[in-house]
Structure 1
Amino acid sequence: MSSPVADPPLLSGLAPEGSDDGMSDALRESNARFAILTDAMPQMVWSTLPDGFHDYYNARWYEFTGVPVGSTDGEGWNGMFHPEDQDRAWGRWRHSLATGEPYEIEYRLRHHSGAYRWTLGRALPVRDDAGQITRWIGTCTDIDDQKRANEQNEILSRELSHRIKNIFAVIGGLIALSARRNPQAKSFADELRGRITALGRAHEFVRPHSDESQPIVGIVTLKTMLGDLMSAYPARDEGRLQIEGDDIGLDDRGATPIALVFHELATNAAKYGALSVAGGHVAIETRRVGDSILISWTESGGPQVAGPPQRQGFGTRLTDMSVVQQLGGSLEREWLPGGLRVNIGVKAERLVRG
C-alpha cells in the first residue's frame, strides 16, 4: 500500500550562508535528502514546529494509518490514539514541549485495519546555535507483537508461580497430615513446614517479574530480608549461617535481585558447598562504605574446592545479571580451598528509591 506524502519540513540551520537563492537551493536539497531518508526507514517519522504543530509525516505513517494526507496535521494526530491513551499521550507531549525534555511513551495507535496496535513514540528537539528549539523530529515504532508476547510470557510466569506455590502448600499439607498420624514427629514436622514456608516466600522474590507483578515490599532492611531467606536452612538455627554487619534499607527495586543472588548461593551451598556437610559454615557480612554497600558471602568448613567450575551454569549467569545489569554493581568470586567467597558492591541509591 503506498500513499502520497506531504512535502518534508524546511530544516533551518543546515544551509550555508550566502544568497537567498543559494539558501533555498541548499534547503531544497536538505529536504529532499530528509524525505528519502525518512521514507527508507521502517518506522513512522514525523516532525513538528517548535510549538508542537505537526506538519510532516513520512510514507510509513500513511501506510500504517491509512488516513488521507494532511488529515493528522496540527493536533489531529491525537485522534489516532486509543481513547484511553489520548489524555496520557497529550499530557506527556505538552510536558516535553514545555521543558524541552525528550518525548517517549507507549500508546495504542489506530491501524488502517481499524485495530489499535501498541506503538513506541519518541521525539527529540532540534536546537539552533543559541540553544532554541527550531523543530521536533519524532518516530513511531510498531511494538504490538513484542508487547503481546511479553504479556503472554507474564501470564505464563504468573501461572507457573501459582502452581509452584500450590505445590508448596500441598507439601505443607501432607506434612501436617503425616504429623497428625504420627504425633511423635510433630516437632520435626513443624520445623520442616516452617522451612518450606520460607522457601515459598523466597520464591516470590526470585521468580521473574514484570513492573506490574513486582512484589511490593515497602521499606525493609537487607539483614531482615536475608534472615528471612536463610531461615529455610537448618544451618541458620544451628548458628552455622550468620548474618552480621551494617543494616541497610531497601525496597522492591533492590530486594528482588539481591534475594535472587543469595537464594542461588544458598541453594548451591546446600548442594555442593559448606551447607552440604554438618561442619560447614557460611558468613554473610554487610558494610556501608561511603555511598556504597559491600556484601560478602564466605563459605568455610565444606568440601575442599579445587578451583572454579569448568563451565558457567545458568544460575551463575543469572546472579551476575542481577547485580551487574539490574543494579549496576560488581560481583567477584574467589574459589578458595576452604570454600567459595563472593564479594558484591553496589551503590546504596540502587537498593532503595530516594
Structure 2
Amino acid sequence: MNSKPITRFQLDARHKAAADMLPLSREHALQSAGPAFHALADTMPQMVWSTLSDGSHDYYNARWYEFTGVTVGSTDGDGWAGMFHPEDQPDAWEKWSHSLSTGEPYEVEYRLRHRSGEYRWMIGRALPVLDENGAIQRWIGTCTDIEDQKQASLQNEILSQELSHRIKNIFAIVSSLISLTARANKGFQNAAKDLQGRISALGRAHEFVRPHSEKSRPQIGDVTLSSLLATIFGSYPAYSEGRIKIGGPDITIDSKAATPVALIFHELATNAMKYGALSVPDGRITLDLSANEETVRIAWAERNSPTVLDAEPTSGFGSRLIDLAIRQQLGGHYERTWTADGMELVMEVKRDRLEQAA
C-alpha cells in the first residue's frame, strides 16, 4: 500500500494538536485519570489511599473498606487515625507529620483495627506526587498486612530464647560436673579450676550476645568489641579497680566471634593474674583497639609485672588455645614480646570475621 511521506509542517501540526489535548497540569491529569486510577487500585491486594497535599485523606480503595468494615467516607480527612491501635498512634502521627513537612517518603509499622475488632500489624508507605516545580500536590500510599510475618518473627524469637536458655543451663551443668570430678580427684583440682574459668568465660560471652527479650536485654547498647571485653573482664577485681583499661573505637562484633574473643582474653587475664601484671597491686593492663576497612588491631600491654622473662616460656594449652582462636577462627596473626616491665601481645584479625557470621 502506497502512502505519501509526512511533511515537517504536518508533523508539527499533529504534535501541536496532541499537545492541545494534554491536561494543563499534573494535578489536572491525576483528576482526569481518577476513575482509571480507582479501578486499578481496587484490583490491588493491598489497601491503597491518597491524600491532599496537607495530608487530608480523600480516597481509599475497596480493600480498605473490606478490611476495616467502616462505611465509605467515614475515615476521610484525619478520621483514619482512630483505626490505629492507641499505642501506635503517636509514632504514626509523628512520622506522618515529618513526611508532610519535609516531603520525605513515609514508612511506619502499626496495628490496624480489622472489621472483627482485632488488630493486625501493617506496614504503611507513601510517596508524594510532585508538580513540575517540585511542589507536593498529593500523596499516594499503601497499607500492607504483615501480621503473619510478625507472628513468625515472634515465634522464632521465643524459640531462640528457649534454645539460648538451655545452652546457658548446659554451661552450668558442665561446670558442676567439673567441680564434682575435682572433689573426687584431688589431682584434677588445678586443671578443673582452669577449665571452669574457660567455661565461665564462654558463658559470659554467650549471655552477652544471645537473643534477648526487651525485659532481659542488658543495658549495653550495641554489641561491640569494647563492650564484650568489658563483660569478660567484669568478673576480675582488677577491672573494677581500674587496672584494666580499654581504649579505641566501637567495633561491631558478631555472635560467632564472641567465643574465640572470650577465650583469648580470658587466657590472657588468667595468666596475668597468675604470673603477670594482675598478680601485684600496682600492675596495669591496657588494651588499645584500632581498625581499618579490612583488619582490627588489638594491642594488649602489661605493665609493672613482678617477673620479666627473657624468652617465651614453653607453650602450654592456654597458648595453643590463643593461637588457634587468633589464626584459625579469626583469620589473623599475632606477636608476643616481653618488655622491661611486662608482656605485650599485638594481634591483627580480619574485620569481617568479627562483624559477620562465619
The TM-score, its normalising length taken from structure 2, stands at: 0.60
- Taking the aligned partners of 2:182 and 2:218, their CA distance within structure 1 comes to 33
Alignment of 1:1-354 (within 5 A): 18=20, 27=30, 30-205=33-208, 207=210, 216-218=219-221, 222=225, 225=228, 248-250=248-250, 254-255=252-253, 257=254, 259-261=255-257, 263=259, 288-289=291-292, 292=293, 294-295=295-296, 343-344=350-351
Tell which deviates more after alignment, 89-98 or 175-184: 175-184
- Tell me the alpha carbon deviations over residues 247-285 of structure 1, each in whole angstroms, 9 at most, x when there is no partner: 64326xx23x2x424648999xxxxxxxxxxxxxxxxx9
Contact 1:221 1:249 in 2 (8 A): no
- Tell me the alpha carbon deviations over residues 20-70 of structure 1, each in whole angstroms, 9 at most, x when there is no partner: 988899556522331132112111011111111000001110111111000
Greater C-alpha Rg: 2
SS at match of 1:195: helix
Q: State the one-letter code of the partner of 1:125.
A: P
- Tell me the alpha carbon deviations over residues 187-212 of structure 1, each in whole angstroms, 9 at most, x when there is no partner: 11111111111222332355456888
SS at match of 1:250: coil
Tell which deviates more after alignment, 216-225 or 97-106: 216-225
Q: State the one-letter code of the partner of 2:295.
A: L
Identity in percent: 55
Going from structure 1 to structure 2, the CA distance change for 1:224 and 1:76 (only over 3 Å counts) comes to closer
- Taking the aligned partners of 2:223 and 2:50, their CA distance within structure 1 comes to 47
Contact 1:82 1:116 in 2 (8 A): yes
Going from structure 1 to structure 2, the CA distance change for 1:84 and 1:224 (only over 3 Å counts) comes to closer
Contact 2:208 2:228 in 1 (8 A): no
Contact 1:175 1:193 in 2 (8 A): yes
Question: What corresponds to 1:270 in structure 2?
Answer: none
SS at match of 1:63: helix
Q: State the one-letter code of the partner of 1:132.
A: A
Question: What corresponds to 1:306 in structure 2?
Answer: none
Question: What corresponds to 1:275 in structure 2?
Answer: none
How far 1:155 sits from its partner (Å)? 0.9
- Taking the aligned partners of 2:97 and 2:153, their CA distance within structure 1 comes to 29
Q: State the one-letter code of the partner of 1:249.
A: P
SS at match of 2:182: helix
SS at match of 2:152: helix
- Taking the aligned partners of 1:21 and 1:187, their CA distance within structure 2 comes to 89
Going from structure 1 to structure 2, the CA distance change for 1:53 and 1:343 (only over 3 Å counts) comes to same
Contact 2:178 2:196 in 1 (8 A): yes
- Taking the aligned partners of 1:69 and 1:54, their CA distance within structure 2 comes to 12
Going from structure 1 to structure 2, the CA distance change for 1:153 and 1:345 (only over 3 Å counts) comes to closer
Going from structure 1 to structure 2, the CA distance change for 1:223 and 1:108 (only over 3 Å counts) comes to closer
Q: State the one-letter code of the partner of 1:124.
A: L
Q: State the one-letter code of the partner of 1:40.
A: T
Contact 2:294 2:350 in 1 (8 A): no
Structure 1 residue runs of 5 or longer lacking an equivalent are: 1-15, 230-245, 268-284, 303-318, 320-330, 334-340
Going from structure 1 to structure 2, the CA distance change for 1:214 and 1:248 (only over 3 Å counts) comes to farther
How far 1:143 sits from its partner (Å)? 0.6
How far 1:158 sits from its partner (Å)? 0.6
Cα root mean square deviation, aligned: 4.3
- Taking the aligned partners of 1:132 and 1:144, their CA distance within structure 2 comes to 35
Tell which deviates more after alignment, 123-132 or 211-220: 211-220
Going from structure 1 to structure 2, the CA distance change for 1:85 and 1:59 (only over 3 Å counts) comes to same
Q: State the one-letter code of the partner of 1:250.
A: D
Going from structure 1 to structure 2, the CA distance change for 1:295 and 1:156 (only over 3 Å counts) comes to same
Q: State the one-letter code of the partner of 1:111.
A: H
How far 1:109 sits from its partner (Å)? 0.3
How far 1:175 sits from its partner (Å)? 1.4
The TM-score, its normalising length taken from structure 1, stands at: 0.61
Going from structure 1 to structure 2, the CA distance change for 1:172 and 1:264 (only over 3 Å counts) comes to closer
SS at match of 2:206: helix
Question: What corresponds to 2:274 in structure 1?
Answer: none
SS at match of 1:249: coil
Going from structure 1 to structure 2, the CA distance change for 1:249 and 1:125 (only over 3 Å counts) comes to same
Number of aligned residue pairs: 263
SS at match of 2:87: helix
- Taking the aligned partners of 1:88 and 1:227, their CA distance within structure 2 comes to 35
SS at match of 1:42: coil
